[in-house]
């Protein structure tokens, strides 16, 4: 068991809509990162939250935003969805910045 749960597992949205993806981390994991994995590619870093504040961001536009809550859950929000946003979105959590990450199974987002 890994203790990182993502919901939903699959989602279909229309271009222009907004979406919220959720992640529940293990107790004590105060660091959470989100990744986008396009088909056939390695995961791409979107952003990271440490103790409820964003402390690192990859090359993604501002319409990708996130939140981390005190109960070790987090959200990834994407506004104005584009077809290229179709991907597997992975959440990874860690007990601290210097430790390794535990990944969730991901949410498969399809934008049509």
Q: Could you identify the residue written with the tokens 């529940």?
A: 24
Give the nearer residue to other proteins in terms of CB position, either 42 or 70: 42
Separation between Cα atoms, residue 30 and residue 90, nearest integer Å: 17
* The only residue of 12, 97, 110, 112 in contact with other proteins, by rule CB under 8 A: 97
Site track 44-83 with other proteins (rule: CB under 8 A), x = hit: xx--x-x----xx-x-------------------------
- What is the three-state SS of 70-100? CCCEEEEEECCCCHHHCEEEEEEEECCCCCC
Spatial CA neighbour of 78 closest among 30, 38, 36: 36
Separation between Cα atoms, residue 20 and residue 22, nearest integer Å: 7
Please tell me the total number of residues recorded for the chain in this structure. Answer: 112
Give the nearer residue to other proteins in terms of CB position, either 23 or 81: 23
Number of residues that bind other proteins (CB under 8 A): 26
* Shortest CB 109 distance to other proteins, Å: 17
* Shortest CB 15 distance to other proteins, Å: 27
Give residues in contact with other proteins (CB under 8 A): 2, 31, 33, 35, 40-45, 48, 50, 55-56, 58, 90, 92, 94, 97, 100-106
């Amino acid at each position: 068991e890994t203790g990182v749960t993502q919901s939903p597992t699959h989602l279909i949205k229309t271009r222009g809509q907004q979406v919220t993806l959720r992640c529940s981390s293990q107790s004590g994991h105060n660091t959470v990162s989100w990744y986008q994995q396009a088909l056939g590619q390695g995961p791409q870093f979107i952003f990271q939250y440490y103790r409820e504040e964003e402390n690192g961001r990859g090359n993604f536009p501002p319409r990708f935003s996130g939140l981390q809550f005190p109960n070790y859950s987090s959200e990834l929000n994407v506004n104005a969805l584009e077809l290229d946003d179709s991907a597997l979105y992975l959440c990874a959590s860690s007990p601290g910045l210097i430790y390794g990450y535990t990944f969730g199974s991901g949410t498969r987002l399809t934008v049509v």
